[in-house]
Amino acid sequence: MTDTHAHTAYAAEHPHDTPHDKPHAVPLWLLAAVLLALLFLTFVTVAVTWVDLGPANIWVALAIAVVKAALVGAFFMHLYWDAPFNGFVLLASFAFLAVFIGLALIDSREYRSLENAPPPAVRPAAS
């Protein structure tokens, strides 16, 4: 029995827990608490737009979204109990996304002067 489960991170954390045919189930109260937290944060992220924080508004909104995503990932998606590698895969995708978007944004402001230049006058081409 232990041979079946000892190599999993979950089993390592819960050596006293049930064998595989009675898998770990997230307690219902925890799922409900996460749902309530997500609904509350949804309200907060809407309410933040009623307050003018200047440029900070977008960062507050993104921070709330990250917290909500972390709640979904950790509890709804079981990452809290999972093998750490799964969470690593998720974080790695975010890291590469940050590299991608960051590199793309490096020079994007260089084009503002071009973009605000008058456009060429183009008429519909008549044959």
Partner 1 sequence: MSDAHHDNHNPHLAHHFDTPQQQFDTAKMGMWVFLATEILMFGGLFCAYAIYRGNHPEVFEFAHQALDTKWGAINTVVLLLSSFTMAWGVRAAQLGQKSLLVILLALTLLGGVGFMVIKTIEYAGKWKHVSYDSPDAWYSLFIGERNAFYQKGGTLVNPEQAKAAKEYVGGHHGSDHDADHAEDQHTPDAPDTAVPTLVPVAAYAMPPAIDRATARPAPIGSLGTAPAYTGEYAAPVLERQLGIPENPGHSYPGFDELHAQDKSRVHIFFQIYFLMTGLHGIHVVIGMGLIFWIMVRAAFGAFGPSYYTPVDLVGLYWHLVDLIWIFLFPLLYLIH
Binding to partner 1 by CB under 8 A, coded x per residue (else -) over 55-94, reads --xx--xx-xx--xx--xx-xxxx---xx-xx--xx-xxx
Q: By CB under 8 A, is residue 15 in contact with partner 1? A: no
Q: Are 37 and 53 in contact (CB under 8 A)?
A: no
Sites for partner 1 among residues 26-45 (CB under 8 A): 26, 28, 31-32, 34-35, 38-39, 42, 45
Q: Are 9 and 84 in contact (CB under 8 A)?
A: yes
- Applying CB under 8 A, which of residues 17, 23, 29, 84 lies at the interface with partner 1? 23
Taking the complex as a whole, how short is the minimal distance between the CB of residue 103 and partner 1, in angstroms? 9
Q: By CB under 8 A, is residue 106 in contact with partner 1? A: no
Taking the complex as a whole, how short is the minimal distance between the CB of residue 116 and partner 1, in angstroms? 5
Q: Are 21 and 4 in contact (CB under 8 A)?
A: no
